[in-house]
Amino acid sequence: MQQILDALKQSVMIEDVRKQRDDLVFITVSEAQAVSAITHLRDRANFTHLVILTAVDWLEEGLFQLTYLLNNPAEKKDIGVRVMIDREKAQMESIHHLWPAAATYQRELREMFGISFPGSPRLNETFILDEGWDGPPPYRRDFDTLKYSEETYFPRPGRSTNDPAEYMKSMLYPEVDND
Amino acid sequence: MRSNDDFLSKKIVPGVEGDEIEVDPIRDYYCDAVPQVSREYKRAYPSIIDRFKNWARSESIWILAYGSGCGAIEMRPLMTPKYDAYQYGIQWRPTPRQANLLMVSGYLSLKTLRIVIRAYEQMPSPKYVMGLGSCTINGGMYYDSYNTINRLDYYLPVDVYVAGCMPRPESLLDGLELLKKLIREGKGHGADIYAEKFEWYKANQKKILKSWNMPDYSW
């Protein structure tokens, strides 16, 4: 694994390396160099399989973290390429020319996180939210799902919540003063 | 997704013998007539024939075997020898045309709600709806989800709710017994209530299914 990273460092600036296991490493690269790093891993290091492309919303930092998880089926190794992109701009270079299947992931990210991938096929067609969704992208953390649900789906009144620990204590030991 | 216009507009399709047939989907595939309230529902007292019919209906509950959520898994022990609901005249049917009870087993996302509404409207009257689990009652653990409905009775007329997450087959049997009792007493009027408050139900359905691309009533 170290050899792969050393070879990658020749062409790409790696900002952070996090070794999860012997056969699983997460690296962080800059937005500009991400696609060239992924291309290098696919063509030179035999990471021929794109396992998943997913995003994390870092609301407080104002960033989206994209994770491209790549797999080397011959040597049974995985590498995760993390890219931090600006949350306001929310735009990333598309990798559908490397794996056609990536277009599906990018459509999903476009719909659920509002991250744009210019040039990706069928990007702006509805994918999962095809019942006439008109709200903001629902996986963004500043989208209040509870408020949306209460405004849209006729909540039934009388819903209450108990703290499980307190509730069990009061049920099992009613004579003890729980305060 | 197909737009409303080209899905429902008139078109010419090739026939078997090379001829061309004009198809008007709204008239040929669906019926856009609004449902009507039955005569039994309008009567002040049930007649003897009505009572006999209600008894017969209560003893032959045919369930549409459609599972929308996790509750569908509880129907398997119910229909197999452990609980054996068949001995109570309850059986599962493969199509809405043969069923008179729609069991909504668990949470409904918008996509499944659309299918459930169509399945319900394709069932022949009299028909009943049973909501299983807390998801159909008040949203259950999905109460704050952005695309699952919170309460079923705003979209379909529910006869019986069975509480639980998920209800066990025993409570399902209990709910079915309650439904039988309601039908025998002449209170199984879900389809008539749906016809009576049709506009209210349709308004609620269309409020959340914003891309409504099917006829208002299809059976």
Distance from CA of A113 to the nearest CA of B (A): 14
* pLDDT value at B219 more than 70: no
| Of A55-59, A174-178, B91-95, B129-133, minimum mean pLDDT range | A174-178
Q: What CATH number was assigned to the domain covering residues A2-158?
A: 3.30.460.80
Domain parsing of chain A, residue ranges: 2-158
**Nearest-CB residue to B210 (from A134, A155, A158):** A134
- Domains belonging to chain B, first-starting first, are 47-208 (3.40.50.12280)
* pLDDT value at A177 more than 70: no
Question: How many C-beta atoms lie closer than 10 Å to residue B155's C-beta?
Answer: 24
Q: Do A154 and B151 touch (CB under 8 A)?
A: yes
Which pTM value belongs to this model?
A: 0.83
Give the orientation angle of helix B198-208 with respect to helix B110-122, to 10 degrees. Answer: 150
The CA distance from B135 to B115, in Å, is 17
* Per-residue model confidence as pLDDT tens digits over A45-83: 999 999 999 999 999 999 999 999 999 999 999 999 999
The CA distance from B96 to B62, in Å, is 10
* pLDDT value at B214 more than 80: no
Q: Do A131 and B111 touch (CB under 8 A)?
A: yes
Distance from CA of B46 to the nearest CA of A (A): 34
* Per-residue model confidence as pLDDT tens digits over A97-146: 999 999 999 999 999 999 999 999 999 888 888 777 888 899 999 999 99
Mean pLDDT for the stretch of residues B43-67: 89
For residue B127, what pLDDT band results from cuts at 50, 70 and 90?
very high
For residue A179, what pLDDT band results from cuts at 50, 70 and 90?
low
Residue A147 near residue A155, CB atoms below 8 Å: no
Q: Looking at residue A176, what is its pLDDT?
A: 73
Q: Looking at residue A71, what is its pLDDT?
A: 95
